[in-house]
Structure 1
């Protein structure tokens, strides 16, 4: 049986038995989009297929460096970091072609943890879309840098003087793609086998940077694919004595790394909801209000889109990243790019996101704000023509400049609480405030170079 055909508990049992597996791998995405998992024996896996099993809830109570949050909302010392229920996502079954005869299943949190689970948060937004008569499709595209380094060498070098995969700026390079075709072709094949096929793969501007556009799918599956792509691109890189980073910006000398999200809506019959030939630019009222909601709520939801300290180093003028909640038609200087096309292809590109996003949380924010716009008939501003970086915008469209400011905006956002729930907002804000406080403890190279001798 092909892993893509696994849809039921019976299918899951059958494919594992037919492969003669003693173990399978399972994993769940945490708040930062890090895949946390384990091996399960076949016997254990079969016993938990329907009702799930206990997974230590500390994975929702620590940061990307396994440091415990100092404030508690969902979990913490007060509840002894008890188990939370996780349930296998049966139709997420995937081959792990980089391993010998191994299958992988995603997990998602249930019961008391569902309120703060990133995947469940996106599912709540999709349920709202369904109640409004829509289905949502999405696709992620990521830029990522590759280095001729290892986990040991980057630490030995203290992340300085790293050797990139290829030298120089060479966007859309056929030379680089041909010389280094082995890695490109391995990545294309891996993504095809793992059911996250790539539509396009090319070099971007910068030494050793690639961009991959993942094929569109139903929004929940698109988020799964985006998150899995990040993890297994890193796995493939390290197996090739390389390292991949999805930081928003690793060097002040190069543009940041995007994580753009493409979104569209259709009705329950599958007819695209963004196209209306009777309207200007074929933009339907639904699409216009969707953009209006995204634009209006972008400053309030930015912490869900730009989740790290590093995210905000990218959001500066002139580096291919938007600086206000702007929109335009096929305008890449804007935060929201309306892409015109047929009834099937017309969509919105949410360009504010970077490669460091958690796809489940970011898509929940991008989609949820658009649905809120449709529900409340929010009109967007006049679309930007020309360079958005050089134009002035009203104060309400200004984006938070730091993660702390963004977290405070999310904390106060009534639409966020309506869309995602108080449990998610309260917990997520605590995690972002923690990230900012941890950063404040750091002494940066910039400070040392600026102050050590002179001040």
Structure 2
């Protein structure tokens, strides 16, 4: 693999990728894309197929709107029988080419793709591009990073089914935040995760034990382009692979147990000028926050309720957005306040930023990043002033009507579909398709009998 790595430039152009393929002994490559859930789907293609795919390729449109176990989410155009479930064009993204570390050397190339032409309007990766283009029109370059919380289990896919998803065994007991004992005891697993990230060009800022049984967190390094959501989606996929190759399972569910805290996908964001100068710092102000940073917060407060579906995309997501488990319940903001949805972090010119604590680890990173930054840019463009910062515990304070979030999955779907701003920034086609996909998931679960219902009603009703 080292010879291959030496011959493939980082972030290759199409010309460089073609030259690499021509000069290599490559037999197969994996072409993959992110669906609405943020799951990476793909397939092996032969060398000849890859060479033709660099010119033109297609994937079934229905693959965008499958839930993780391939439950079909009914969406007109993308997944309705009247269309015959056709293939739609995709474009390979040459700069995403990288190597899968455990694959055979002649079969280890991975390239991401995105839906193209008219179907770009439905593509999650293109929603991130839309946000970038909007930022550039306003004279800014967004800078962002993501944090992913996940839980590791001493289980297998077969064992969790056999147990009926009950009495699962986390890899570590007790709450052990930042515990070096746990980290060093699991050093083999940590090293495999870090080696995997290095091979897949996933830039890691930190990796550590979190506050819960088997609970871990990884932070992706700051970036200014689609490499950030690419890396986030790839980590979510390949961390699961590392876990299963070690006889373990990892979950990124927003909340997997009534006895566990939620699992977040926090986003850190700031803006730069197109020349790369940070704009969130103002040394003349007592709090160090520039007018641009304040307006960015104001825009987030104005639109994150409309965009919540992008940050909390599943029925399970709303089991996390409850008081007392380090997840926000309104769009309140505060300086260095982790009980708020928007944590302002004033600092040096290069470190001043906001942390949006609303997204769950289950959010599609292309969509959650696009949603958070688009909301902030809306505030900058329209000079929206935020409310007074929250001081103290936001869970114990009265929620202002203007800061109230949709209270349920159903309400979030309705609000997103009806949002003029969502349609303005993401387009009617995407808003309708995404809302339809979430509505189908909601309706599927409405008809399901849960374990809790059996416990409460089976014997005595």
Q: TM-score range by the shorter chain?
A: over 0.9
Q: CA RMSD in A?
A: 1.3
Q: Mapping of 1:398-417 within 5 angstroms?
A: 398-417=404-423
Instruction: Work out which of the residue numbers 50, 56, 62 in structure 1 matches 2:60.
Output: 56
**CA shift for structure 1 position 73:** 4.4
Instruction: Work out which of the residue numbers 248, 255, 262 in structure 2 matches 1:256.
Output: 262
Q: Mapping of 1:128-167 within 5 angstroms?
A: 128-167=134-173
Question: Greater shift after overlay, 70-79 or 393-402?
Answer: 70-79
The equivalent residue for 1:339 is 345
Q: Mapping of 1:115-126 within 5 angstroms?
A: 115-126=121-132
**CA shift for structure 1 position 253:** 0.8
2:74/2:437 contact within 8 Å kept: no
Partners of 2:276 and 2:58 lie apart in 1 by 38
| CA deviation profile, 1:92-121 (whole Å, cap 9, x unmatched) | 011110212211000000012111100001
- Residue 213 of structure 1: SS of its match in structure 2? strand
Partners of 2:103 and 2:301 lie apart in 1 by 44
Figure out how many residues of one structure are paired with residues of the other and give that number: 454
Instruction: Work out which of the residue numbers 15, 32, 36 in structure 1 matches 2:20.
Output: 15
Question: Greater shift after overlay, 86-95 or 211-220?
Answer: 211-220
Instruction: Work out which of the residue numbers 68, 74, 80 in structure 2 matches 1:70.
Output: 74
1:170/1:203 contact within 8 Å kept: yes
**CA shift for structure 1 position 75:** 4.2
The equivalent residue for 1:224 is 230
Question: Greater shift after overlay, 214-223 or 83-92?
Answer: 214-223
1:304 equivalent to 2:310? Answer: yes
Instruction: Work out which of the residue numbers 349, 360, 371 in structure 1 matches 2:366.
Output: 360
Partners of 2:277 and 2:325 lie apart in 1 by 37
- Residue 136 of structure 1: SS of its match in structure 2? strand
The equivalent residue for 1:451 is 457
The equivalent residue for 2:87 is 83
The equivalent residue for 1:238 is 244
Partners of 2:276 and 2:203 lie apart in 1 by 22
1:141/1:213 contact within 8 Å kept: yes
- Residue 160 of structure 2: SS of its match in structure 1? helix
Partners of 2:251 and 2:8 lie apart in 1 by 28
**CA shift for structure 1 position 7:** 2.0
- Residue 442 of structure 1: SS of its match in structure 2? coil
Q: Indicate how the Cα distance of structure 1 residues 281 and 310 shifts in structure 2: closer, same or farther if over 3 A, else same.
A: same
1:63/1:431 contact within 8 Å kept: no
Instruction: Work out which of the residue numbers 291, 294, 298 in structure 2 matches 1:288.
Output: 294
The equivalent residue for 2:3 is none
2:73/2:438 contact within 8 Å kept: no
2:60/2:85 contact within 8 Å kept: yes
Question: Greater shift after overlay, 105-114 or 278-287?
Answer: 278-287
1:97 equivalent to 2:97? Answer: no
**CA shift for structure 1 position 52:** 2.6
Partners of 1:144 and 1:376 lie apart in 2 by 37
**CA shift for structure 1 position 3:** 4.5
2:93/2:112 contact within 8 Å kept: yes
The equivalent residue for 1:45 is 50
1:85/1:110 contact within 8 Å kept: yes
1:4/1:94 contact within 8 Å kept: no
Partners of 1:285 and 1:2 lie apart in 2 by 47
Partners of 1:369 and 1:288 lie apart in 2 by 13
1:438 equivalent to 2:444? Answer: yes
Partners of 2:258 and 2:335 lie apart in 1 by 29
**CA shift for structure 1 position 17:** 3.9
Partners of 1:19 and 1:117 lie apart in 2 by 32
**CA shift for structure 1 position 279:** 2.7
**CA shift for structure 1 position 13:** 2.1
**CA shift for structure 1 position 48:** 2.2
**CA shift for structure 1 position 125:** 1.0
Q: Mapping of 1:319-334 within 5 angstroms?
A: 319-334=325-340
1:188/1:197 contact within 8 Å kept: no
- Residue 319 of structure 1: SS of its match in structure 2? coil
The equivalent residue for 1:271 is 277
The unaligned stretches of length 5 or more in structure 1 are none
1:275/1:343 contact within 8 Å kept: yes
| CA deviation profile, 1:269-309 (whole Å, cap 9, x unmatched) | 11001112223412111111111011111111101100011
2:131/2:373 contact within 8 Å kept: yes
- Residue 282 of structure 1: SS of its match in structure 2? coil
1:139/1:219 contact within 8 Å kept: no
- Residue 231 of structure 2: SS of its match in structure 1? helix
- Residue 210 of structure 1: SS of its match in structure 2? strand
The unaligned stretches of length 5 or more in structure 2 are 1-5
The equivalent residue for 1:203 is 209
**CA shift for structure 1 position 71:** 4.6
1:35 equivalent to 2:44? Answer: no
Taking structure 2 as the reference length, the TM-score comes to 0.96
**CA shift for structure 1 position 36:** 1.2
